[in-house]
Each structure stands twice: as structure tokens, then as C-alpha cells.
């Protein structure tokens, strides 16, 4: 068996792409999208009809954007047997009420297309305001995927709020540490289990399983197959097409690296997750603070580019 097939024995594999053909090729259980992926996809000729239809059938920028997101989501759900993640505009990351309203609207649009809300995850940035929005939405049966997550403090707050799923960003954590170290970066000493992104996800996974949280952990933003294989056994892993291809083309043994039994046997202390504690812990984590704000700005910038494409 190739590494991808072996990985699927331990972990639910999710496609991190807006490319339908690649989803069909690698048969993931779920799929994730974001403004960056959709912006990339709609510039391909084969996906242009989705953009054209959204513009033709709707009036106003926001209506067209929402229709485009739902159009991609519905096409994806015709391919994958599980769920699709659809992202709330990153520019709403610090507005709880607006995030709740947008999420409800997106779910309503899916339901108008005959898609049950159980098959949709609403992606929300893991700010304090975003987490509070998820708490409201989860009580309404709207399941949330908490994205742009870089710290244990964010993860604990999301679990306490009852979020369905979190997406800790492995590769972006690694990127920050490499840039911070500069010429002093030691690649060998920061590989495998010692990769800072891998360590972060393992810490979160162990904490959740130790204390019995139901929130799913989905590692995201990978830079190499080594990072992925070091997290074999994580609830889910969302993987880009190029890394799916490498895994599918590589033979070799894949071992489970994360497990509930191992986590429950670990000596882990609980941490506070009230608003003051959350904000202080995030403030004290320079990497998480910078990457969260960077991620929001990047997703917001791509949303603006997508709006400009719609306007043209």
C-alpha cells in the first residue's frame, strides 16, 4: 500500500483544494475551501461557469460572493461523501454578531440547495469574537471549523465553546520559527516529532483526548509529507494536492503516531480559558499572535481580489 492509503487507516484525509478533478482523483472524505483556494480555482477555464452563474443570478457584491461559495461547496459535496468547509469573510473576525449572521445566511443558502447543515462546516477565525460566534452557532446545530489556530489557548477556548472542529496550522508555525531563527535554523533538529508545528498539534490532540473534549482536531497547512506522517492518527488532516500526490506515489510503512491511549496516559495540566486568560496567553505567544493577524489579513486580501474579479 502507498503512504496515502495507509494514512487513511488511521486518519480521515481531507482535500485542501478547490479543484474538483483532484478531489475525484484522491477520494478524500471531506474537503476544505477558503477565499484563497476559490480565487485560484475560478481563474481556471473549467471553473469559470460557476463564477459566471453567480454573477448572472445575483445582484450585489455580497450576494454574488455568497452564491459563489455555495456553488463551489455544492459541487464539492457531489464528489466527497462527507463535509465541506465554507469560510466566513475574514473581515468579520472581530465581530461576533456579524459572523453569526453570515454563518446563518450561508447555511440557509445551502439548505435552499437541498444540502443538510450536517454536511457543512462554517470556517471561522479563532479570535475570541469568532469563538463566541461558534458557541452560538453550535447550539443551533450549525457546525464550526475554527481556523487560523496556532496555540493551545485558542484550542482550549474552542473546545470549551463546543466547536465541532479545529484546524491548527502546522506549516505556518514552522514558517514563523524558521524565519525567526534565520541563519541559526537547524533543519535536522526541527524535523519529525521535533517540528514546532507538529509539536503544537500533538499538544492540542493530547489535551483534548486527556480531558475528553469532543472537538475534532484537523492538522492543516503542511509543508512536507514528513509533517503529515508525524501526525498519523490525528482525527483529520487536510492536505494539499501536491502532497497528496507525493503520498500516493510513495511506498513505505506508515505508523500511527497519535493515539487516545497515549494521550490519556500523559501528565497534562488543565489551563484556564476565560476571556482574560485567553487574551493574556495569546498575547504572550508571539508566534500565535503574529500568525493569527497575518492569516486574517491574507484571507481578507484574497477576498478583496475575488470581489475585484467579480466586479470585472
* Catalytically annotated residue among 123, 209, 210, 291: 123
Exposure b/e, 228-264, CB count within 10 A at least 16 = b: bbbbbbbbbbbbbbebbbbbeeeeeebeebbeeebbe
Helices 170-181, 196-211: crossing angle, 10 deg rounding: 140
Q: Is 123 marked active-site?
A: yes
User: What does the radius of gyration of the chain's CA atoms come to, in whole angstroms?
Assistant: 19
Grid coordinates representing 190?
526541527
Active site residues: 123
Amino acid at each position: 500500500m502507498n503512504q496515502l492509503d495507509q494514512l487513511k487507516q488511521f486518519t480521515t484525509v481531507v482535500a485542501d483544494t478547490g479543484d474538483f478533478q483532484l478531489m475525484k482523483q484522491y477520494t478524500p472524505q471531506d474537503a476544505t475551501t477558503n477565499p484563497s483556494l476559490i480565487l485560484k480555482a475560478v481563474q481556471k477555464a473549467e471553473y469559470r461557469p460557476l463564477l459566471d452563474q453567480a454573477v448572472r443570478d445575483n445582484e450585489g457584491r455580497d450576494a454574488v460572493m455568497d452564491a459563489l461559495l455555495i456553488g463551489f461547496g455544492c459541487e464539492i459535496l457531489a464528489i466527497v461523501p462527507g463535509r465541506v468547509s465554507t469560510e466566513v469573510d475574514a473581515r468579520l473576525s472581530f465581530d461576533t454578531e456579524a459572523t453569526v449572521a453570515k454563518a446563518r445566511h450561508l447555511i440557509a443558502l445551502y439548505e435552499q440547495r437541498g444540502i443538510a447543515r450536517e454536511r457543512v462546516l462554517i470556517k471561522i477565525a479563532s479570535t475570541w469574537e469568532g469563538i463566541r460566534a461558534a458557541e452560538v452557532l453550535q447550539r443551533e446545530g450549525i457546525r464550526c471549523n475554527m481556523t487560523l489556530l496556532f496555540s493551545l489557548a485558542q484550542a482550549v477556548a474552542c473546545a470549551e465553546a463546543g466547536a465541532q472542529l479545529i484546524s491548527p496550522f502546522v506549516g505556518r508555525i514552522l514558517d514563523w520559527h524558521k524565519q525567526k531563527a534565520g541563519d541559526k535554523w537547524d533543519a535536522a533538529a526541527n524535523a519529525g516529532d521535533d517540528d514546532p508545528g507538529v509539536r503544537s498539534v500533538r499538544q492540542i490532540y493530547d489535551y483534548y483526548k486527556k480531558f475528553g473534549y469532543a472537538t475534532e482536531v484537523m492538522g492543516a497547512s503542511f509543508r512536507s509529507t514528513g509533517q503529515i506522517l508525524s501526525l498519523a492518527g490525528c482525527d483529520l488532516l487536510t492536505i494539499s494536492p501536491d502532497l497528496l500526490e507525493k503520498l500516493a506515489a510513495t511506498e513505505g510503512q506508515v505508523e500511527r503516531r497519535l493515539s487516545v491511549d497515549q494521550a490519556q496516559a500523559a501528565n497534562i495540566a488543565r489551563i484556564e480559558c476565560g476571556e482574560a486568560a485567553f487574551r493574556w496567553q495569546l498575547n504572550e505567544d508571539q508566534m500565535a499572535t503574529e500568525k493569527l493577524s497575518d492569516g486574517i489579513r491574507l484571507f481578507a486580501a484574497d477576498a478583496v481580489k475575488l470581489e475585484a474579479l467579480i466586479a470585472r
